[in-house]
């Protein structure tokens, strides 16, 4: 099991794994190119490909894209693994994303908090977050899934004058953005936040891949298409 504060040997394993997988990123080059993820952005995020597992507990991730979770200091503290095969994962009977057993819920891309910016974008999913960084050039972080928001993450966003929460063009995406910007029974609204809606059936990455960064940027900055938070 992986605690919230990993041991030294866990960290060493993750670092070793990240290096091994980074060296194999060429195996996922076609996938990344088709998704509009530039080699520079992939390298900065230390994306990798699991040709060979770094250890026995990573054997089930062979053939997947490795997405490391990095601390603000750049230490690897875990991974998500995405299937990059050209098929419908559901029909194949497996999950599009797999994580390590017992991994705690973490925000991805927390280096964004170090950037000198009054604006930050909150995305659902790591590759969507990368897409915003590539296409819009603004600091962005990702939550691992639409229902994974942790209340203590609120205070990480103190001091921003504009927090843009991107809603995917589906029901869970819209609910997530609404809950964050308007608040819910359990959660106060995120101050200075507004929701931005992707077109029906789309997310940040699909927009970037199909239409390019300018279209994605227009959607992100379009205030008339978004809902302001009440605070
Ligand atoms: Zn698959």
What sign does the CA torsion over 96, 209, 200, 226 have?
Answer: positive
d(CA 152, CA 61): 30
Q: Does the pLDDT value for residue 46 go beyond 50? A: yes
E strand segments, the chain: 48-49, 64-70, 76-83, 97-99, 119-124, 140-143, 162-167, 193-197, 226-228
Residue 6's pLDDT is 85
Mean pLDDT, the chain, rounded, equals 93
* Six-digit token string for 113: 């908090």
Read off the pLDDT of residues 160-170 as tens digits, 9 standing for 90 and up: 999 999 999 99
Residue 222 confidence class, pLDDT cut points 50, 70, 90: confident
Q: Does the pLDDT value for residue 127 go beyond 90? A: yes
d(CA 29, CA 212): 18
CB 219 within 8 A of CB 145: no
How far does residue 68's CA lie from ligand 1's centre (Å)? 19
How far does residue 43's CA lie from ligand 1's centre (Å)? 23
What are the structural domains of the chain?
Answer: 8-99 (3.90.980.10), 110-228 (3.40.1360.10)
| Listed ranges 4-18, 28-42, 142-156, 217-231; the one with the highest mean pLDDT | 28-42
What pTM was estimated for this model as a whole?
0.92
| Residue 120, strand partner residues | 163
Read off the pLDDT of residues 145-156 as tens digits, 9 standing for 90 and up: 888 888 899 999
How far does residue 66's CA lie from ligand 1's centre (Å)? 14
Residue 17's pLDDT is 98
Q: Is 41 in a helix, a strand, or coil?
A: helix
How far does residue 98's CA lie from ligand 1's centre (Å)? 10
Residue 119's pLDDT is 98
How far does residue 225's CA lie from ligand 1's centre (Å)? 33
d(CA 229, CA 187): 13
- H or E stretch including 175? helix 171-182
CB 92 within 8 A of CB 64: no
How far does residue 194's CA lie from ligand 1's centre (Å)? 33
d(CA 92, CA 103): 25
Q: Does the pLDDT value for residue 126 go beyond 80? A: yes
Instruction: Provide long-range contacts, Cβ within 8 A and 24+ apart, for 145-151.
Output: 146/172, 146/173, 146/175, 146/176, 147/172, 147/176, 148/105, 149/176, 149/179, 149/180, 149/187, 150/105, 151/186, 151/187
d(CA 167, CA 196): 6
């Amino acid at each position: 099991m992986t605690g919230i504060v990993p041991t030294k040997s866990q960290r060493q394993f993750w670092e070793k794994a990240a290096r091994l997988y980074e060296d194999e990123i060429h195996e996922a080059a076609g996938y990344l190119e088709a998704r509009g993820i530039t080699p520079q952005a992939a390298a900065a995020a230390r994306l990798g490909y699991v040709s060979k597992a770094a250890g026995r507990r990573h054997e089930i991730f062979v053939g997947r894209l490795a997405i490391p979770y990095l601390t603000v200091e750049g230490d690897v503290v875990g991974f998500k693994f995405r299937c990059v095969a050209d098929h419908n994962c559901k029909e194949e009977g497996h999950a599009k994303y797999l994580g390590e057993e017992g991994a705690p819920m973490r925000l991805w891309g927390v280096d964004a908090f170090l950037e000198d910016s009054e604006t930050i974008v909150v995305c659902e999913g790591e590759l969507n977050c990368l897409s915003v960084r590539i296409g819009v050039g603004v600091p962005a972080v990702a939550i691992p899934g639409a229902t994974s928001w942790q209340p203590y993450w609120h205070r990480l966003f103190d001091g921003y004058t504009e927090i843009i929460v991107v809603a995917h063009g589906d029901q869970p995406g819209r609910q997530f953005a609404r809950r964050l910007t308007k608040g819910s029974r359990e959660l106060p609204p995120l101050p200075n936040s507004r929701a931005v809606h992707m077109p029906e059936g789309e997310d940040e990455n699909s927009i970037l891949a199909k239409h390019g960064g300018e279209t994605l940027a227009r959607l992100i900055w379009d205030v008339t298409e978004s809902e302001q938070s009440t605070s």
